[in-house]
């Protein structure tokens, strides 16, 4: 068969597996095996040899060592209850202004993102912590659900992010090293958080009933000095951990894997300081780390097999000719690539999207003359939408599973829509002003 027909057949087979309910990892490797055998005349030994070499290269990637360490750091922090104290103190300080509780949610989500890097932990934690408070204070349910879901997804972009570690490990390029990706993601992540803050502030001014302030009597219970002490006690520990992880990477003192080890140890020390480092916490954190790491690594391994087969049958050349061979200008091609990633995010998770699109789109972006770090960060920013876009946005289900009674799926779907638009605005800003991505990497690392 021609490469064009094989490429079509490969994607049709993958979609058929997914629609049939086959787990994504097995859908990827099953498609790779079937199409690979058809293409090479059912030469099993040759295909297995390619898979084994590919698996060895994947497992020999030292960058991926950071994945379980960052996950362990997140699990320990989730159980140390640091976020509880931080949210309570911000609630007292900001609750007196219109929409202040929503603003507190965004700030806590940013700090959680910079310490955990895992979306599920952030969304579930904030759903359990802030969800009841927002209901109790009369906040609009749709806005509250969207705010927690969107704020929690910042963990996939703001460093240390598991997605950026995996992305850097997949490319193997100096320009898109984990350190460069971490530095490049800081400003886009903060821009998204700022857009959320502005949205909450403005919408609660337009519709005061959406974000009522706490009673003045409740706010007066705490003196200014007491409020300051509350914030410092809850804010300083996570900030020290952020500095320990990001400072060592951006300062050139440690590799991402070494910084991840520092972060895991720091998280353990913080849990001990908050008197939460019990044997139960250690055991549960270890088991959760094992499960999450296994899931990520199986997806990476089988996804790489899918990518290897896709490139072997000539799929990369087919896609390149399709996009570059026409009369389209480079900005139209960029829009098509980012648009397809956005559409895929409605149905499959970010790992699969990266593994399917990265081997094709990154070379195309280089041919078009785009800065690889800039393009990579656009991909990562728009991948954030995959956690929010119905029908299968993971954050929607994380929230639905952990939120108190009173939130319905229709409310959650409606609530995330403004935040999806805000995320797309963030992508547009990064396209129009590339320095938002490239300035910090150029300043610190190059």
Could you read off the pLDDT of 401-446 as tens digits, one per residue? 777 787 888 888 899 999 999 999 999 999 999 999 999 888 875 5
Domain boundaries, the chain: 3-444
Residue 192 pLDDT: 95
Q: What is the mean pLDDT of the chain?
A: 83
Residue 420 pLDDT: 94
Which 3-state string (H, E, C) describes the chain?
CCHHHHHHHHHHHHHHHHHCCCCHHHHHHHHHHHHHHHHCCCCHHHHHHHHHHHHHHHHCCHHHHHHHHHHHHHHHHHHHCHHHHHHHHHHHHHCCCCCHHHHHHHHHHHHHHHHCCCHHHHHHHHHHHHHHHHHHCCCCHHHHHHHHHHHHHHHHCCCCCHHHHHHHHHHCCCCCCHHHHHHHHHHHHHHHHHHHHHHHHHHHHHCHHHCCCCCHHHHCCCCHHHHHHHHHHHHHHHHHHHHHHHHHHHCCCCCHHHHHHHHHHHHHHHHHHCCCCCHHHHHHHHHHHHHHHHHHHHHHHHHHHHHHHHHHCCHHHHHHHHHHCCCCCHHHHHHHHHHHHHHHCCCCCHHHHHHHHHHHHHHHHHHCCCCHHHHHHHHHHHHHHHHCCCCCCHHHHHHHHHCCCCCCHHHHHHHHHHHHHHHHHHHHHHHHCCHHHHHHHHHHCC
Q: Give mean pLDDT, residues 10-18.
A: 85
% of the chain residues with pLDDT over 90: 17
Could you read off the pLDDT of 98-132 as tens digits, one per residue? 888 888 889 888 887 887 667 776 787 788 778 88
């Amino acid at each position: 068969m021609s490469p064009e027909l094989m490429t079509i057949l490969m994607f049709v087979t993958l979609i058929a597996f997914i629609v049939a309910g086959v787990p994504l990892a097995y859908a990827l490797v099953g498609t790779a095996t079937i199409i690979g055998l058809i293409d090479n005349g059912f030469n099993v030994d040759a295909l297995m040899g390619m898979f084994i070499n590919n698996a060895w290269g994947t497992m020999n990637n030292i960058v991926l060592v950071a994945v379980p360490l960052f996950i362990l750091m997140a699990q320990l922090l989730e159980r140390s209850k640091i976020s509880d104290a931080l949210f309570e103190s911000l609630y007292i300080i900001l609750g007196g202004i219109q929409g202040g509780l929503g603003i507190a949610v965004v700030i806590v989500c940013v700090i959680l993102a910079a310490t955990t890097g895992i979306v599920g932990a952030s969304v579930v934690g904030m759903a359990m912590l802030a969800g009841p408070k927002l209901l109790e204070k009369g906040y609009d349910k749709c806005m509250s659900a969207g705010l927690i879901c969107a704020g929690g997804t910042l963990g996939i972009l703001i460093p240390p992010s598991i997605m950026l570690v995996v992305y850097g490990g997949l490319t193997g390029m100096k320009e898109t090293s984990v350190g460069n990706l971490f530095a490049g993601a800081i400003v886009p992540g903060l821009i998204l958080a700022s857009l959320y803050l502005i949205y909450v502030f403005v919408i609660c001014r337009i519709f005061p009933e959406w974000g009522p302030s706490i009673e003045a009597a409740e706010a007066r219970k705490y003196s200014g000095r007491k409020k300051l002490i509350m914030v410092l006690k809850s804010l300083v520990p996570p900030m020290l951990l952020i500095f320990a992880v990001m400072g060592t990477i951006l300062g050139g003192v440690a590799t991402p894997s070494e910084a991840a080890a520092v972060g895991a140890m720091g998280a353990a020390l913080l849990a001990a300081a908050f008197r939460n480092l019990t044997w139960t916490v250690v055991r549960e954190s270890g088991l959760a780390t094992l499960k999450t790491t296994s899931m990520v690594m199986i997806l990476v391994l089988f996804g790489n097999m899918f990518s290897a087969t896709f490139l072997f049958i000539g799929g990369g050349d087919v896609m390149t000719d399709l996009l570059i061979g026409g009369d389209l200008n480079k900005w139209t091609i960029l829009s098509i690539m980012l648009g397809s990633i956005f559409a895929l995010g409605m149905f499959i998770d970010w790992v699969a999207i990266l593994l399917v699109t990265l081997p094709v789109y990154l070379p195309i972006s280089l041919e078009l003359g785009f800065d690889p770090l800039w393009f990579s960060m656009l991909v990562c920013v728009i991948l954030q939408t995959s956690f929010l876009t119905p029908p299968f946005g993971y954050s929607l289900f994380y929230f639905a599973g952990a939120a108190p009674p009173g939130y319905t799926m229709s409310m959650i779907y409606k609530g995330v829509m403004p935040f999806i638009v805000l995320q797309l605005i963030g992508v547009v800003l990064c396209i129009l002003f590339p320095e938002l991505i490239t300035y910090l990497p150029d300043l610190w690392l190059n």
